[in-house]
Amino acid sequence: MKKVKVSLTTRSYCILVGSGTLNSLAEELAKLGLKGKVLMVTNTTVEPLYGKILIDELTSSGYAVSSLVLPDGENFKSLETTAQIYDAILEAGLDRQGIILALGGGVIGDMAGFAAATYMRGINFVQVPTTLLAQVDASVGGKVAVNHPRGKNLIGSFYQPSLVFIDTATLDTLPVREILSGLSEVIKYGIITDPELFSYLEVNVIARGIRGKEFFIDIVEKSCAIKAKVVSRDEREENVRAILNFGHTIGHGIEAATHYQVFRHGEAVAIGMMGAACISREMGLISAPEVERIRSLIISVGLPVYFSGIAWEEIWYHMQADKKAKDGNINFILPTSIGSVVISPVDPHTIRKVVESELIR
C-alpha cells in the first residue's frame, strides 16, 4: 500500500492507499496499538456491499465489533442522526480505548468523526472511505461536522483520525455520478496548487477517458499528498488551509438553497469553482484563456458549470452564513493561474453579477 503521512504537532497519522486491501485493516489497527471495542458506523447503501467483509475481517482478528447502519444522504447529516451514534456507542460499551470506524462516504465520516470527537471528549477514530470524494477530501484533514438548517457543516470541530485506510477497489461499486463528483475535488487540487496534476487530468480524462485501477490509486495518492501538505501547515484553518475551500463558497450556497437534494457535493463545487474563476477574471486576477482551461476540464469530466431554477436571493441568503463572510463581503479563494490562488474579499455586487451572467441558465 502507498503511504501518505499527515504531520501535525500533536496527532500525526497516516493515510494508506491501495486496491483490494480491506482484508488487511485489522493488521494495520494492531500496528497502531488500537485494540479496543469497535463500533462500525455505515449506511444502508454501503453496508450490504462491505459491512460483512469488514466485520468478518475484524472479528477473525479478535476485535469485538458492533455496527450501526444509518440512512444514506446529506439530509441525514444532523445532530438528530448523530444522537443515534452516541446511543450505539453506549450500547456497545465503548470506553476511551474504543474505536469508531467510519465505513462510507463523507456524510458518514463527518458524523462518525464528530461523535468520536465529542464522546468522552475524544476516542479513537478510523476512516475507511468508500467514495472518491471522501477518499480525496472528506476523510483527510480532521474536519468533522454536521449540518444546520441555515448552512452546511456549521456545527463541528477539528479532530484527527488515528488512521485513514483507503481501498480504491470500493470505487468499483460506485455510481458514475459519484465518481465524477469526487473528480471535482481532484480538479480543485490542481487549480489551487498543482499545475502538473491539472495537466495530468487534462491528458488522462480529456484524451483517454476515466479508466483503470492505477489511475484511481494515482489520483487518490496525489490528492491526499496535496491536502496533507496543506493541513500540516495549517491544521485549524487559520490561514493557508482556507485555499481548500476553493469553489465551496458558491457551492455550499447552491447545495443549501436546493436542500441538498439536487446536486452532489462535487457538482456544486464544480459550479462554485467556475464561479470563482469568473469572479477572478472579472477582477483582473486571471486571464480568460486560463478560465477557459478550467471550464474545458470541468465540462470534459462531465460536471456542470451552470444551474437553473434557483434565484440569486436564495443562494445569497445561504452564502451569508459562510465562515468566510466578514463585514458584508465574502472572502473568496480566487485563482490567478492554474496552480495558484489568492484569498480576497469580494463585494456582493460582483458576486451577483457573475452568478447571474455566468452560472444561471
Spatial contact of 336 and 281, defined as CB atoms under 8 Å apart: no
Tens digit of pLDDT for each residue in 127-152? Answer: 999 999 999 998 888 899 999 887 78
- pLDDT at residue 10, as a whole number: 72
Q: Supply the DSSP symbol for 323.
A: T
Among the candidates 155, 171, 187, a domain finishes at: 171
Among the candidates 149, 171, 193, a domain finishes at: 171
Among the candidates 147, 171, 195, a domain finishes at: 171
Tens digit of pLDDT for each residue in 295-339? Answer: 999 999 999 999 999 999 999 998 887 666 666 678 999 999 999
CATH number of the structural domain spanning residue 194: 1.20.1090.10
Cα–Cα distances (Å) from 359 to 159, 278, 310, 352, in that order, read 35, 9, 10, 10
Spatial contact of 350 and 283, defined as CB atoms under 8 Å apart: yes
Residues 6+ apart with CB under 8 A from 3: 14, 15, 16, 17
Residue 25 has pLDDT above 90, yes or no: yes
Q: How many CA atoms lie within 13 A of 111 on its CB side?
A: 30
- pLDDT at residue 206, as a whole number: 63
Asked if residue 97 and residue 59 are part of one domain, the reply reads yes
Cα–Cα distances (Å) from 122 to 39, 125, 353, in that order, read 14, 9, 45
Question: In whole angstroms, what is the distance from residue 77 CA to residue 106 CA?
Answer: 10
Asked if residue 249 and residue 278 are part of one domain, the reply reads yes
- pLDDT at residue 324, as a whole number: 61
- Provide the pairing of β-strand 2-6 with 340-346: unpaired
Tens digit of pLDDT for each residue in 78-109? Answer: 999 999 999 999 999 999 999 999 999 999 99
Question: In whole angstroms, what is the distance from residue 60 CA to residue 251 CA?
Answer: 43
Report the binding-site residues for NAD(+).
72-77, 106-110, 130-131, 143, 152, 170-173
Asked if residue 242 and residue 141 are part of one domain, the reply reads no
- pLDDT at residue 4, as a whole number: 94
Catalytically annotated residues: 121, 143, 185, 227, 237, 241, 245, 248, 252, 265
Quote the domain boundaries for residue 167: 2-171
CATH number of the structural domain spanning residue 134: 3.40.50.1970
Report the binding-site residues for Zn(2+).
185, 248, 265
Asked if residue 245 and residue 133 are part of one domain, the reply reads no
Asked if residue 161 and residue 31 are part of one domain, the reply reads yes
Question: In whole angstroms, what is the distance from residue 132 CA to residue 174 CA?
Answer: 8
Residues 6+ apart with CB under 8 A from 56: none
- pLDDT at residue 11, as a whole number: 81
Residue 33 has pLDDT above 90, yes or no: yes
Asked if residue 126 and residue 36 are part of one domain, the reply reads yes
The number of folded domains in the chain is: 2
Please state whether the predicted TM-score (pTM) of the whole model is above 0.85: yes
Smallest Cα–Cα separation from 40: which of 112, 96, 107? 112
- pLDDT at residue 311, as a whole number: 94
Asked if residue 102 and residue 167 are part of one domain, the reply reads yes
Cell numbers linked to 225: 499528498
Asked if residue 110 and residue 33 are part of one domain, the reply reads yes
**3-state helix, strand and coil shares in percent for the chain, rounded to the nearest 5:** 50, 20, 25
Spatial contact of 228 and 123, defined as CB atoms under 8 Å apart: no
Tens digit of pLDDT for each residue in 168-207? Answer: 999 999 999 999 999 999 999 999 999 999 999 998 876 5
Residues 6+ apart with CB under 8 A from 305: 270, 271, 274, 295, 298, 299, 359
Asked if residue 336 and residue 188 are part of one domain, the reply reads yes
